Every structure is written in C-alpha cells, then in structure tokens.
A and B are shown apart, each in its own frame.
Chain A
Amino acid sequence: MAFRTTHELHHRRMSRNLGLGLVLVALVALVFGLTMVKVQELAQDDAFRSGAVAQSKGSMW
C-alpha cells in the first residue's frame, strides 16, 4: 500500500506554520521600523537640546 504523504492534517499544519512565519517576519519588520523611528526621535531631541543650550549661551553675551 502506498504511503500517503499528504493529508488534510498536513494542509492545516502548513497553513498554521505559514501564517506564524509571516507573522514573525512582520513582527521583525515592525520592531525594526520602531527602532529606526525611536533613534531618529532621540537624535532630533539631542539636536534640539544642543541648539537650545547654544542659543542660551549666546544670549548671555
């Protein structure tokens, strides 16, 4: 008797594994995007702070 390699069960597992894989890839992309935004915001904050400090030093004179 030939061994059946595919079964309805395998299709279900395939859909589950594929779905989970896509979710994980999307999560990696999202965390990467969030990291980029947070780093940019930090850089902007630093630039703003250093600009404000320079301005306040300039006004002293």
Chain B
Amino acid sequence: MTDATYQQPSREAGFGDYIALLKPRVMSLVVFTALVGLLVAPVSVHPVVGFAAILFIAIGGGAAGALNMWWDADIDAVMRRTARRPIPAGRIEPGEALGFGLALSVFSVVMLGLATNLLAGALLAFTIFFYVVIYSMWLKRSTPQNIVIGGAAGAFPPMIGWAAATGSVSVEAVLMVALIFMWTPPHFWALALFMKSDYHDAQVPMLTVTHGRAATRRHVLIYTLLLAPVAMALAFTSIGGPVYLVAAAVMNGWFLWGAWRIWRRDEGVAQADNYRVEKDVFRFSLLYLFVHFGALLADAALRATGVI
C-alpha cells in the first residue's frame, strides 16, 4: 500500500476524564458517610489504616460509578444532564471504561480487605455488585421503584466504614444505612419532578413517567414520613447524642414541611413558579444528610472529650 492516509486524531482522554468516570460528586457523599461510620465506631483505628480504608471505599464507589457509566452510556447520551460525560462525549471508549471499572473494583475490594478486614472488603464488593448489577443493569430500566431499591447501594458506605473499624455490623450501622436508604427516594423524586423531560426522553421508568406527577408528589410525602422515625431512632443508640437529637428533630420537621408543600401543589402552580418548592426541597435534602452525619460526628467528638 503506497498511499498515505491522514486520520484526524480522536479527542483523546485526559487524566480528568478518568476522574470524571468515578463520579466525584457521588464519591464525596460516599467518603463523608463512610468516614462518619468509621469515626463513630466504638473501636479506634490507626490513622493510616483509617485513611486507607476511606480511600479504598471511595475508589470502590468510583469504580461502581465507572461501570454504571459504561452500562448507561446510551441513556446518558440522551439526557441533557449527562450528555457531556466522557463516554457519550466520545472521549473514552465504552470498553475502556469497563476495564477501568472492573480493575478498580477488584483492586479496591482486595486492598480494603487486606488493610482492614474481610467483612469490610465483602461489604464493599456487595455494594459494587448491587449498584452495577441490581440497580444499573436490572432495576433502573425495568421498574419505577428503581430508586427505592437501588438506593441501598449508596446507603452502604457508613456500614463499610463501621465494619472496617469494628470487624462487625451492629444496629447503629444498620440504622445509618436505613437513614440513607429512606432518604434516597424523596431526594431523587424531588429532582425528577423538575428534570422531567430528561427521564422521559431517555425512557427511564421514573415514577414521574410511569405513575404521573401527582403520584410522585404523594410518594415524596410518604417516604419522608417513613424516613423521620428512622432518623430519630439513631438518636437513641450508642452513637446518638444531644447534638444529633436536636439536629434530627429540626431537619426532619423541615423536610416533612417541604414534602407536605410538594404534595399540596399541583402541576400548574409548580410550573408557574418554575418548580421553586421542588428545587428547594431537593437542595435541602442534600443538607439534610450532611447535617445528620455531621451531628453524629459532633456527638462522637463530645464523647471523646468527655463532655457527654
């Protein structure tokens, strides 16, 4: 062959694109809740081991995110919010993302198991499996309850942090998981109420698409009602304390008030003010989780210094 061909170089991925595959914003929630789970545990760990544990949990969460992006690349390309992600934007090949996600999954699970204990490693492996296989591959495209059950994957990090420190699982760890698990549906449904065209265009069976917006508003209220007792119950365990009790009472009252307002509104009113209440509740729900876990940390600090 004598003729020379010129190929336009493809938009090659930079280091930041691989970081984007790990969903750093989701990772920040994973890191924070896992850190709280580790720090409020009754067994102290060496700082180096604690740092390594949180790092490997974060990498495991990021690996699950990369595998999710590989599987959901077709949906991401359709949705405005996700169209600029590395795979739909053409910067990273799907196969490369798959290899990246699988390699980091195995690495994080093995390293966490070696650095702390087998239970923590096994819980991380289960979390990755749950998020990628149960949520992304199975539930997300098949049922409007996808968010409810899939939320469990995002709920496990504090339990992994707790297990990394103690080598066991107790009622406190289960309640921390339950708190995030019950928080996820109203958080995402509030988002779905004002990002309506995205999920519809991608044909993801969100509750807003399959059961309508009135049903979604009702579900936000129901799940917020179910969330409140779970959140309050943590105050009466060994990791709860006065700071958490006050914070949980205030935040749950506020969240319930927001969910109530969402339920009372109809679509016409919501459209008229550009979904102001739904957006407020969504933003507040982020603060809600941060304050709850921050309060657990504050009570742990008070206990460590002998104040309570």
Contacts and interface: CB of A to CB of B under 8 A. Distances in A.
A19 B46 contact: no
Interface of A: 7, 9, 12-13, 15-16, 18-20, 30, 33-34, 36-37, 41
Contacts of A15: 14-16
Residues of B in contact with A, size category: 10 to 19
21 contacts: A7-B9, A9-B9, A12-B12, A12-B14, A15-B14, A15-B15, A15-B16, A16-B13, A16-B14, A16-B15, A16-B18, A19-B15, A30-B52, A30-B55, A33-B48, A34-B48, A34-B52, A36-B48, A37-B48, A37-B49, A41-B46
Interface string B47-91: 011011001000000000000000000000000000000000000
Contacts of B51: 30
A23 B41 CA distance: 30
A30 B59 CA distance: 14
B97 to A, nearest CB: 15
Contacts of B15: 15-16, 18-20
A18 to B, nearest CB: 7
A19 B22 CA distance: 15
B115 interface: yes
A36 B47 CA distance: 12
A12 B14 CA distance: 5
A37 B14 contact: no
Given A30-B52, A30-B55, A37 B13 contact: no
A41 to B, nearest CB: 7
Given A30-B55, A37-B48, 8 more contacts: A7-B9, A12-B12, A16-B13, A16-B15, A30-B52, A34-B48, A36-B48, A37-B46
Nearest to A19: B15
Nearest to B45: A37
Contacts of A20: 15
B44 to A, nearest CB: 12
A13 B16 CA distance: 11
Contacts of A9: 9, 12
